Amino acid sequence: AQSVTQLDSQVPVFEEAPVELRCNYSSSVSVYLFWYVQYPNQGLQLLLKYLSGSTLVKGINGFEAEFNKSQTSFHLRKPSVHISDTAEYFCALRGSGNTGKLIFGQGTTLQVKP
Amino acid sequence: EAEVAQSPRYKITEKSQAVAFWCDPISGHATLYWYRQILGQGPELLVQFQDESVVDDSQLPKDRFSAERLKGVDSTLKIQPAELGDSAMYLCASSFQTGYEQFFGPGTRLTVL
């Protein structure tokens, strides 16, 4: 079975500080990994994705993530956050087979304080 | 910019009533997904369509939920009868084909009283 665990339910941080949102996954097959952001009462927006190649992937809004196969992790980072980054963040995986199903973690609420 | 459309955005209903949600995917997208997101949790796939065919409905509670995509374009998700535990956000997503990036709609927030 495949699963995603987001290690922090809430992450409070001050504006302009760096942040890391942690994500671990479990899968017996190769996976593709994603980070999505969700603002209140809105759908999900893709931040970045790892499909293959370089383990450091860059996304929109200054976010980046590093795929670590040995530690089965895909942590999201941003060197300096803004108030507007306050949102819910979801890590997700998709099996490399012929399936579109995304399996999501429980979400991490990023609270950026002035 | 093309977007996934969903309606209604909000729905309040009483237990045992029937409800229906509508989704219009991005034009040309063959794959359509319905996810359910319970408050405080990540989305969970309910059903996946490839054109008009269901390819995965393993997590769909078939005793009360039904989904259709008759012409392979827009889709309807129905719940009959609604139960208190069905209160959630229902998200629709579409992709060009299976395995391509999924684009999400704004969701329908259902409250069952």
Count Cα atoms within 13 angstroms, Cβ side, for A47. Answer: 27
Query: CB pairs below 8 Å between A and B: how many?
Result: 56
Do residues A36 and A53 make contact, with C-beta atoms less than 8 angstroms apart?
no
Do residues A46 and A76 make contact, with C-beta atoms less than 8 angstroms apart?
no
Query: Distance between CA B84 and CA A97 in Å, rounded?
Result: 36
Query: Distance between CA B113 and CA B90 in Å, rounded?
Result: 17
* Cα dihedral B95→A27→A51→B106 (10° resolution): 30
Do residues A50 and A33 make contact, with C-beta atoms less than 8 angstroms apart?
yes
Summary mean pLDDT of chain A: 93
B1 pLDDT higher than 80: no
Give tens-digit pLDDT for B55-101: 999 999 999 999 999 888 999 999 999 999 999 999 999 999 888 88
pLDDT of residue A47: 96
pLDDT of residue A97: 66
State both tokens at A109: 């609420």
Of B42, B104, B107, the CB nearest to A106: B42
CB contact under 8 A, B106 and A45: no
Give tens-digit pLDDT for A91-114: 999 976 667 899 999 999 999 999
Identify all chain A residues contacting B42, using CB atoms and an 8 Å cutoff.
4, 90, 92, 104-107
The DSSP secondary-structure symbol of B26 reads P
CA angle at B32 for the pair A50 and B107, rounded to the nearest 5°: 90
pLDDT of residue B33: 97
Of B40, B91, B98, the CB nearest to A98: B98
pLDDT of residue B63: 95
- Torsion over CA: A28, A47, B32, B15 (sign): positive
